[in-house]
Structure 1
Amino acid sequence: MTTFLPMTYFTKAVVGDRAIVTQLLPANADPHDYQAKPRDIQNLADADVLVQNGLGLEAFLSDLIGSAANEDLVVVDSSEGIPTLPATELEETEDEHAVDEHADEGHSHSEAEHSHGEDDPHLWLDPKKAIQQVENIRDALIVADPEGEQIYTTNAADYIADLRALDTKIRQQLAPYAGKAFVTYHDFAEHFAYSYDLEVEHLIALPEGSPTPADVQRVIDTVEASDLQVLLTEPSQQGNTFGAIAADLDIYISVFDSMESASDQNPQPEDYIFTLSGNSDKLARAFGESE
């Protein structure tokens, strides 16, 4: 079992035909605010392996795993050992690059609570960290199913090659816009921005949150200071507050898919490549329109 969409992409890529991969959350459910259902307990009770993102994103899992009482369940934390970024706070003004210098030094940021927990969990939006997640999944599956080692190793190598090519494509595409800022609806793009030498601002911390007047003003200030012409909303947030901001500022709205949920009931590994590549295309167009 996998928790949500990116974990499904990565696990299916490694597993191939060796095992059945089932996603715990419905395709259109957001892991930030998911409320576990009784059927989830039974699904976990029947599972051999559970692959999660980790870093506190799947906050519902702890109680769920306990209720499933599956002593043989292997829980795979795909974020294990991957350098991360501190979760941002709306009131902080440090840029992401300065904060990340302390990512492996216990984090020197404020002790105030973060909406996602101490660390930003959105690793999968950086293809280089997605590679590390795939490697973690591969290694855990080999331990859980040693007879499948060759299959898992070969499949992972093939997918990692695709992820490296994706990273190269995005890096080359966005290199002309190094240091520029873009604005997303909720706080998910720090890893992506840092990886490609960009800056990012967001309206709200979590997708289910409601923006305050101060949040709206902060975004307006960012747009005006950077002469942005495009705001990047999410597929699940069409018609949100961004619409009013865009109308007031006479700018456009595009979409950056965080892949936290989707309407597709049969997600495939190549969907990750297609979606993140498309995000880069839209971002390049957004930057191009602001020049």
Structure 2
Amino acid sequence: MVHLKTGVHSSSRPVRRLSVLLASAIALGLGSCAADTSTSTSESPQAETSPIETAELQVVTTFLPITQFTKAVAGDRAEVTQLLPTNVGPHDYQATPEDVQRLAQADVLVQNGLEMELFLEDLVDNAGNPDLQMVDSSEGIATIATEDVEGHAHENEDHGHDHANEAEHTDGAEHAEAGHQHGEFNPHVWLDPKRAIEQVENIRDGLIAADPEGEAVYTANAATYIQQLKELDSEITAMLQPYAGKTFVAFHDFAPYFAESYGLDAEFLVDVPDENPSPDDVKRISDEVKESSLKTILTEPQAGEESLAALAEDLNVTVSIFDPMETGDAEAIEPEYYLTVMRQNAQSLIAAFSGSPE
């Protein structure tokens, strides 16, 4: 089941060059959205904007897992372009006029949803593309409330906050400006292969709706990738079954779906990766590591290495990697990357629980 935002859309996908030019002009007024992108272009898989129209379905995805899943379904039937540079995650992304052009020319936009891509609303509005069909890959998927995850982690600490005042600052623009907090539900559904299968099904249905003539191709490609995801899920289930009920510690709160799926408990140091841990955060995690006799705590390639390295030294434990795949190198857009990294993540967890080298 997918959510499609559609205008009048014909199978010939008409040229929209006037819209592109208009969108470029509008994009110059994006304000904070059109900020410095000097850190992001080197790893981007984005194709250069071209005035030449192609007959191929033009699909834009938001960030890595969504690109991996969409490329698996699309195969050679559609051109898939990632909106975000691969080395920039959704928490750090700032839009550019070129991004507006990509959406002005696109037929389909595929997103994770669950408020992971809060930047999209203004970007889509500025693109001015009434034919753009939007696929929410997380629609219909069982979710975990952010309040449950973060409330559990912080239930025994106060942080010195005035919680009545804090509630006021989670509203509207102040909330968005305060640091890319998660929405009502934890958005990291892609890290559970079972839910990833549902995302692939949503993407398949969305591409079929946009390109009915490609139904057989999209259906076959999705079935192949879904089988690979089922095999991955079975492997991870067998690998982690001996550790059911155990707790692992990660840097930020990306792991509740993974933990739920495999009978584990996940603790985390900070809510989102661009936060700095408070003294109470550090004490909470220190107590958890000591209580659970963990040998390893899990940082991520994108953030947290310095914070967890210092903590690990104090606790005399090692630091390993669990990659939530919010960023990566240029090759990370390929569907096989997800399968490889998830297996590596499972191995990292075994090392965390057993103390054995990976």
- The answer to whether the superposition gives a TM-score over 0.5 is yes
State the identity as a percent: 54
Q: Distance in 2 between matches of 1:49 and 1:71?
A: 11
Q: How does 1:81-160 map to 2 (within 5 A)?
A: 81-88=140-147, 92-93=151-152, 115-160=181-226
- Is 260-269 or 270-279 further displaced after alignment? 260-269
- Tell me which residue corresponds to 2:135: 76
- Tell me which residue corresponds to 2:336: 270
1:254 aligns with 2:313: no
- Tell me which residue corresponds to 2:354: 288
- C-alpha contact 2:149 2:256 (8 A) present in aligned 1: no
The alpha-carbon deviation at position 173 of structure 1 amounts to 0.3
Q: Distance in 2 between matches of 1:240 and 1:46?
A: 41
Please state whether the residue corresponding to 1:93 is helix, strand or coil. helix
The alpha-carbon deviation at position 93 of structure 1 amounts to 3.0
- Tell me which residue corresponds to 2:49: none
Q: How does 1:219-258 map to 2 (within 5 A)?
A: 219-237=285-303, 239-258=305-324
Amino acid aligned to 1:116:
H
User: Structure 1 residues 143, 181: CA separation in 2 closer, same or farther (over 3 Å shift)?
Assistant: same
- Tell me which residue corresponds to 1:31: 90
**Aligned partner (choices 273, 281, 304) of residue 215 of structure 1:** 281
1:203 aligns with 2:269: yes
Q: Aligned Cα RMSD in Å?
A: 1.8
Amino acid aligned to 2:108:
V
1:13 aligns with 2:79: no
The alpha-carbon deviation at position 267 of structure 1 amounts to 1.9
**Under a length normalisation based on structure 2, what TM-score does the superposition of the two structures give?**
0.74
Q: Any runs of at least 4 consecutive aligned residues in structure 1 with deviations exceeding 4 A, and if so which?
A: 88-91, 111-114
- C-alpha contact 2:67 2:82 (8 A) present in aligned 1: yes
- C-alpha contact 2:153 2:268 (8 A) present in aligned 1: no
1:46 aligns with 2:112: no
The alpha-carbon deviation at position 87 of structure 1 amounts to 1.1
Q: Distance in 2 between matches of 1:179 and 1:44?
A: 45
Q: Distance in 2 between matches of 1:94 and 1:257?
A: 20
Amino acid aligned to 2:354:
G
Pair member with larger Rg: 2
The alpha-carbon deviation at position 236 of structure 1 amounts to 1.6
Q: Distance in 1 between matches of 2:198 and 2:187?
A: 14
CA deviations over 1:66-113 (Å, ceiling 9, x no partner): 000010001100000111101146762389xxxxxxxxxxxxxxx995
1:162 aligns with 2:221: no
Equivalenced residue count is 275
User: Structure 1 residues 249, 79: CA separation in 2 closer, same or farther (over 3 Å shift)?
Assistant: same
Q: Distance in 1 between matches of 2:196 and 2:296?
A: 27
Q: Distance in 2 between matches of 1:260 and 1:168?
A: 24
- C-alpha contact 2:295 2:354 (8 A) present in aligned 1: no
The alpha-carbon deviation at position 39 of structure 1 amounts to 1.2
Amino acid aligned to 1:26:
P
- Tell me which residue corresponds to 1:103: none
Q: Which 5+ residue runs of structure 2 have no aligned equivalent?
A: 1-59, 155-166, 176-180
- Tell me which residue corresponds to 2:39: none
- Is 82-91 or 5-14 further displaced after alignment? 82-91
The alpha-carbon deviation at position 229 of structure 1 amounts to 1.1
- Tell me which residue corresponds to 2:25: none
- C-alpha contact 1:90 1:205 (8 A) present in aligned 2: no
User: Structure 1 residues 201, 51: CA separation in 2 closer, same or farther (over 3 Å shift)?
Assistant: same
Q: Which 5+ residue runs of structure 1 have no aligned equivalent?
A: 96-110
- C-alpha contact 2:240 2:346 (8 A) present in aligned 1: yes
**Aligned partner (choices 114, 117, 122) of residue 58 of structure 1:** 117
CA deviations over 1:7-54 (Å, ceiling 9, x no partner): 000000000000110000000001023111121111110111000000
The alpha-carbon deviation at position 201 of structure 1 amounts to 0.5
Amino acid aligned to 2:207:
L
**Under a length normalisation based on structure 1, what TM-score does the superposition of the two structures give?**
0.91
- Tell me which residue corresponds to 2:48: none
